[in-house]
């Protein structure tokens, strides 16, 4: 079926896993909310619905549990705006040929702890390109990217920027 549906999953026993659910849903396109007790089903369904808003064109099975950070970052755009002002200020992520190239490079750099070959593979660029972009980013930011709090806040900010459409979630 090409129609995407949202659902919450209620697991009757603690030992039933998402892999067993996944085998039952093979060939279907759907979003699955977190496993919850029956009385928390509305919250799980709400998360499944918001998960679908993150990428409504996704095929196959999407588990809300796999995108909790993205869901959390879609809740309060005012926090994201404040983080953007604090960390990025006037930094021009749009200076490259493609608008989100530096932002996506920094996001991958944070996700992969600076592992240049992995970042290059993820972005489908040469590792030297990653080094060049990270140097430009470090030169443009006033913050020490090795500071754990700065890294965490930037990761939250860049994750939120990557799921802006979810801010429209109910």
Query: pTM above the 0.85 mark?
Result: no
**Between 38 and 87, where is the model more confident?**
38
Q: Provide the residue ranges of all domains of the chain, joining segments of one domain with +.
A: 5-68, 74-168
Starting at the edge strand found earlier in the chain, the sheet holding 61-63 runs 5-7, 30-32, 61-63
Report the C-alpha gap between 42 and 48 in whole angstroms. 10
Report the C-alpha gap between 122 and 152 in whole angstroms. 20
The yes-or-no verdict on residue 36 having pLDDT over 60 is yes
Confidence at 88, pLDDT banded by 50, 70, 90 = confident
Q: At 125, phi and psi to the nearest 5?
A: -135, 170
Report the C-alpha gap between 53 and 137 in whole angstroms. 30
Residues 76/167, Cβ–Cβ less than 8 Å: no
CA distances to 15, 50, 51, 54, 103 from 154, rounded to whole Å, are 36, 23, 22, 20, 10
Nearest CA to 71 among 99, 94, 47, 103? 47
Amino acid 92: pLDDT: 65
Residues 73/107, Cβ–Cβ less than 8 Å: no
Highest mean pLDDT among 3-12, 124-133, 137-146: 124-133
Amino acid 70: pLDDT: 84
CATH 1.10.760.10 fits 74-168, yes or no: no
Report the C-alpha gap between 167 and 170 in whole angstroms. 8
CB count, 10 Å around CB of 18? 17
Q: pLDDT digit string (tens) for 135-164?
A: 988 888 877 888 999 999 999 888 888 876
């Amino acid at each position: 079926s090409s129609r995407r549906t949202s659902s919450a999953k209620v697991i009757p026993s603690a030992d039933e896993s998402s892999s067993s659910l996944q085998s039952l849903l093979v060939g279907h396109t759907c979003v699955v909310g977190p496993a919850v007790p029956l009385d928390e089903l509305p919250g799980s369904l709400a998360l499944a619905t918001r998960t679908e808003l993150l990428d409504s064109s996704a095929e196959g099975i999407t588990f809300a549990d796999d995108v909790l950070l993205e869901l959390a970052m879609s809740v309060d755009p005012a926090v994201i705006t404040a983080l953007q002002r604090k960390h990025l200020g006037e930094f021009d992520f749009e200076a490259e040929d493609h608008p989100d190239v530096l932002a996506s490079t920094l996001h991958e750099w944070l996700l992969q702890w600076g592992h240049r070959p992995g970042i290059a593979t993820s972005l489908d660029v040469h590792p030297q390109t990653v080094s060049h972009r990270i140097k430009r980013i470090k030169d443009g930011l006033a913050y020490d990217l090795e500071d754990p709090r700065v890294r965490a806040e930037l990761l939250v900010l860049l994750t939120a920027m990557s799921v802006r459409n979810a801010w429209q979630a109910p």
